[in-house]
């Protein structure tokens, strides 16, 4: 419940809750706008899920892209979002995103250490009106951890699946090169390894690389900026409650190092503390069943604290039954699953339900593929589903915790990975081992092999979209995403409806102001990122539409609070 204003232990102009990409962008923007800013973080590490992520942001017609001669425009981007997102989101919010996202990125380039580069990463539905085959997604420029000094030790590490062999950091382009085994990938890997081992000061301290890429580069650059500006960040400081004066939010109760404190926020509070994916009670209340935090690839502190606080003030919520779905492989004893962003496009696998039948395009965008485990039109259960592949696939390609066989043969796999990997000499025997219908799986494999020969998938159109092909094997044909499954032994791993965060949260307007159930604005309260209901509705238009809007509306909220005009 909200706490009335009667006295404070600390005062600031703007209180920012959270330390992910959106929260730190908001803090820096407000500080540039002349405000005193306090940023608080629940855990003993900063960066949130952003630090663990790919760090990509989806920004149409950015100054970076236009300077490189990329053809893009506001109208094309808005048309694309209108076709993909539809009417599920207030049109004013969609328009605000398209207008403000390029401004945010230019502002950060001019006023912070943040640097981004557009990449040839396709929109997820490039065939839709206004869709593009690249250069809306941007990735952070790598940086060296020495710029952070001792603060590097508190930077939340990358997810293990984005670090090659647990040591070597990679960029988006390098990751695609490794997965698709593009020309020159071995040379790229060699250079990465040399850079890692020649960093003698880091090797004397441990395995962690000081070459920061992806989400660590994003958060590292934002923290580098906060260091420059001498902006405070309080770790080990959970948010507890909002403080109101009448109908206005004027601060919050927090817990700093175990002691409750009352913080006055003279201009307002910006909540960017993630979603509720690690709150089993909220998952059971809102999300499709079955559901578990163990299937989420986000960091464990996202328990919906700010969403609950907003609801207690009468705030409206939306999209609470949705997450940023992605199929995931869970290994027992490992705290987070491997989220299958790209490997599903590699040729030579199928994903099947208990009937042994396919139920979606395996190479589709991960939100679509992940949600399909719940929306499967077949009567057969698909939680868990199973990815089935053969010895040829196993030798050539990675899949979640499984490295390609040439680098990690079956005998060398960790015991816990072996626990979830089923192996059989025949498809029939494999069906028995994983408990799926034998005749159904045999028929599915036969169909897949026919589709591999023809290059056409009449059931789910795998490999037809340019996006499908982006992570397919560029050397394989006639379809980059389909190959026969015929060489024993045969393999299967269980797959769950994972996520990289929840989509539902507090309903906000085009200035990121939190709205009540009657549509009125809660004065002094803003929500961004996964604390707010997603501006992308129930869709995932392109890589970076999680962090991109978080940063953009963090920028918008800070400008609204400080009175700065973009």
Residues of the chain with pLDDT under 70: 1-6, 164-165, 175-182, 198, 204, 566
Cα separation, 403 vs 178, in Å, equals 11
Say if 184 falls within a structural domain.
Answer: no
Say if 486 falls within a structural domain.
Answer: yes
Residues 79 and 56 in one domain: yes
Residues 344 and 489 in one domain: yes
Spatial CA neighbour of 401 closest among 494, 497, 298 = 494
The per-residue b/e assignment along 524-537, b for 16 or more CB within 10 angstroms, e otherwise, is: bbbbbbbbbbbbbb
Residues 317 and 343 in one domain: no
Say if 401 falls within a structural domain.
Answer: yes
Decide if 186 contacts 192 (C-beta within 8 A). no
Residues 313 and 333 in one domain: no
Examine the fold and report which residue of 453, 469, 499 is the final residue of a domain before the chain moves on.
499
The DSSP result for 316-350, as a single string, is -EE-TT-EEEEEEEPPTT-SSPEE-SSGGGSSSEE
pLDDT of residue 204: 64
Decide if 346 contacts 179 (C-beta within 8 A). yes
Residues 48 and 127 in one domain: yes
Examine the fold and report which residue of 499, 520, 542 is the final residue of a domain before the chain moves on.
499
Residues 88 and 104 in one domain: yes
Overall domain count for the chain? 2
pLDDT of residue 566: 60
Say if 16 falls within a structural domain.
Answer: yes
pLDDT of residue 37: 98
Cα separation, 351 vs 353, in Å, equals 7
Residues 514 and 435 in one domain: no
CATH number of the domain bearing residue 518: 3.50.50.60
pLDDT of residue 180: 64
Residues 295 and 407 in one domain: no
Find all residues with CB under 8 Å of 36, minimum gap 6, and list them.
12, 13, 14
Phi, psi for 21 (deg, rounded to 5): -60, -45
Cα separation, 417 vs 435, in Å, equals 19
Say if 176 falls within a structural domain.
Answer: no
Examine the fold and report which residue of 464, 499, 534 is the final residue of a domain before the chain moves on.
499
Say if 166 falls within a structural domain.
Answer: no
Give the helix, strand, coil percentages of the chain, each rounded to 5: 35, 20, 40
Residues 386 and 359 in one domain: yes
Q: Which domain holds residue 235?
A: 1-153+215-322+503-566
Residues 19 and 91 in one domain: yes
pTM of full prediction above 0.75: yes
Say if 246 falls within a structural domain.
Answer: yes
Say if 199 falls within a structural domain.
Answer: no
pLDDT of residue 179: 62
Residues 349 and 286 in one domain: no
Residues 14 and 103 in one domain: yes
Decide if 525 contacts 250 (C-beta within 8 A). no
Spatial CA neighbour of 263 closest among 276, 272, 271, 254 = 254
What's the distance, CA 329 to chain centroid? Answer: 16
The DSSP result for 496-537, as a single string, is EEEEEEE--EE-B-TT-EEEBTTS-EEEEEEE-GGGB--TTT
CATH number of the domain bearing residue 438: 3.90.700.10
pLDDT of residue 345: 95
The full 3-state SS of 14-29, as one line of letters, equals EEEECCCHHHHHHHHH
């Amino acid at each position: 419940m909200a706490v009335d204003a009667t006295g404070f232990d600390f005062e600031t102009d703007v209180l920012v809750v959270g330390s992910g990409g959106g929260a730190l962008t908001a803090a820096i923007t407000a500080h540039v706008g002349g405000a005193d800013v306090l940023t608080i973080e629940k855990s003993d590490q900063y960066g949130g899920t952003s630090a663990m992520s790919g760090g990509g942001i989806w920004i149409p017609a950015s100054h970076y892209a236009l300077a490189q001669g990329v053809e893009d425009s506001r109208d094309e981007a808005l048309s694309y979002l209108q076709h993909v997102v539809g009417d599920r989101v207030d049109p004013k919010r969609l328009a605000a995103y398209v207008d403000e996202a390029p401004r945010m990125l230019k502002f950060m380039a001019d006023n912070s250490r943040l640097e981004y580069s557009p990449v040839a990463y396709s929109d997820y539905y490039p065939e839709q009106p206004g869709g593009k085959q690249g250069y809306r997604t941007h990735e952070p420029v790598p940086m060296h951890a020495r710029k952070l000094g001792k603060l590097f030790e508190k930077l939340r590490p990358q997810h293990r699946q984005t670090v090659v062999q647990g040591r070597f950091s990679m960029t988006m382009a390098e990751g695609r090169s490794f997965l698709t085994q593009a020309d020159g990938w071995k040379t790229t890997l060699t250079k990465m390894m040399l850079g890692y081992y020649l960093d003698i000061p880091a090797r004397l301290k441990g395995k962690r690389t000081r070459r920061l890429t992806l989400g660590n580069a994003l958060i590292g650059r934002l923290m580098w900026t906060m260091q420059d500006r001498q902006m405070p960040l309080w770790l080990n400081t959970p948010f507890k409650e909002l403080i109101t004066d009448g109908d206005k939010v004027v601060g919050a109760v927090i817990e700093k190092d175990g002691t409750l404190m009352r913080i006055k926020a003279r201009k307002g509070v910006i909540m960017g503390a993630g979603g509720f994916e690690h709150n089993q009670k909220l998952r059971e209340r809102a999300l499709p069943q079955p559901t578990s935090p163990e299937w989420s690839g986000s960091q464990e502190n996202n328990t919906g604290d700010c969403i609950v606080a907003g609801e207690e003030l009468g705030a409206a919520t939306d999209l609470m039954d949705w997450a940023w779905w992605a199929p995931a492989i869970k290994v027992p004893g490992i705290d987070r699953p491997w989220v299958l962003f790209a490997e599903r496009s590699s040729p030579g696998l199928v994903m099947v339900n208990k009937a042994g039948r396919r139920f979606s395009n395996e190479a589709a965008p991960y939100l679509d593929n992940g949600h399909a485990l719940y929306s499967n039109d077949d009567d057969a259960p698909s939680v868990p589903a199973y990815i089935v592949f053969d010895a040829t696939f196993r030798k050539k390609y990675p899949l979640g915790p499984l490295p390609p066989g040439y680098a990690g043969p079956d005998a060398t796999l960790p015991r816990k990975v072996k626990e979830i990997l089923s192996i059989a000499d025949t498809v029939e025997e494999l069906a028995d081992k994983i408990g799926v219908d034998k005749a159904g799986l045999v028929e599915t494999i036969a169909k897949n092999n026919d589709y591999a020969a023809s290059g056409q998938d009449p059931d789910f159109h795998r490999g037809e979209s340019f996006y499908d092909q982006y992570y397919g094997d560029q050397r394989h044909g006639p379809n980059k995403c389909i190959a026969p499954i015929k060489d024993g032994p045969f393999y299967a791993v269980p797959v769950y409806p994972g996520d990289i965060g929840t989509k539902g949260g507090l309903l906000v307007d085009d200035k990121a102001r939190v709205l009540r159930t009657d549509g009125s604005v809660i004065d002094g309260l803003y929500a961004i990122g996964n604390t707010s209901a997603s501006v992308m509705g129930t869709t995932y238009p392109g890589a970076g539409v999680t962090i991109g809007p978080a940063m953009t509306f963090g920028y918008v909220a800070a400008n609204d609070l400080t009175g700065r005009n973009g």
